[in-house]
Structure 1
Amino acid sequence: MVYQARIDDMRAELRVMNKAIPDAMKGFGALSKAVHDSGALEVKVKEMIAVGMAVVQRCEPCILFHVEALMKAGATREEFCDVIAMAVQMSGGPGVMYAAHALACWDELAAG
């Protein structure tokens, strides 16, 4: 499982960074929690936005975490594919490449 291993490796790196800069990471965590837990949009919609932005910004670790979170939020593969299609439309060729990573990650995580 390539993508699960990447997720696990990134989590390990983040744990090290949390120890190195705890105040900054607490602040980022508080911001993330506030955005996630409040507002008019449901979590699934917020994660759809995050996946689309991660593809457009070409942030593979962000893609991995938000694909996983979107799955946990109850999105279907069809909904997910709409998100990555929109990201491709907004970002062109580079978005195609990262959208392919996102879809492969989804399929791997869905397979267990």
Structure 2
Amino acid sequence: MANYPEMYERLRALMGQLGREAPAAMGAFGSLHMASTADGALPRKTKELMALAIGIAAHCDGCIAYHVHDALKAEASRAEVMETIGIAVMMGGGPSVVYGCEALEAVEQFAGSTD
């Protein structure tokens, strides 16, 4: 079983290292990420839920860690995350059911963490 809060912190540290060693590419990605998830016509919470659905459908554990964390931080409710998982399953089929279960586990773990 993955520990999503630990995965989130480990990925943050590794992305920081990657940013120091590949500053142009990671700086550009960071700017893209910030611009893409900023409040606009769609609120940040909606954008994080969209990113979570795509992460589940793409079978990306790190994406699940990041976007569950960030969706909850943007005040997404558990019910909103569950509906997001449903959309991911619809788009990704059986494998997304497994990753949807992983996202549910991440919600449970982040709900119990102090972050």
Q: Answer with 26-35 or 95-104: which moved more.
A: 26-35
Structure showing the higher helix proportion among its residues: 1
Q: Distance in 2 between matches of 1:8 and 1:34?
A: 22
Q: Deviations over 1:65-104 (max 9, x none)?
A: 0000000111111111000011011111110111111110
Alignment gaps of 5+ in structure 2? none
Alignment gaps of 5+ in structure 1? none
RMSD (Å) for aligned C-alpha atoms: 1.3
Q: Distance in 2 between matches of 1:56 and 1:2?
A: 20
Q: Distance in 1 between matches of 2:52 and 2:111?
A: 16
Amino acid corresponding to residue 91 of structure 1 in structure 2: G
Tell me the SS of whatever aligns to 2:42. coil
Q: TM-score, normalised by structure 1?
A: 0.94
Q: TM-score, normalised by structure 2?
A: 0.92
Correspondence 1:84 to 2:85: yes
2:48 alignment counterpart: 47
Query: What is the aligned-residue identity percentage?
Result: 35
Q: Deviations over 1:44-70 (max 9, x none)?
A: 110110000000011110110000000
Q: Distance in 2 between matches of 1:32 and 1:6?
A: 19
Divergent runs of 4+, >2 A: none
Q: Distance in 2 between matches of 1:94 and 1:38?
A: 31
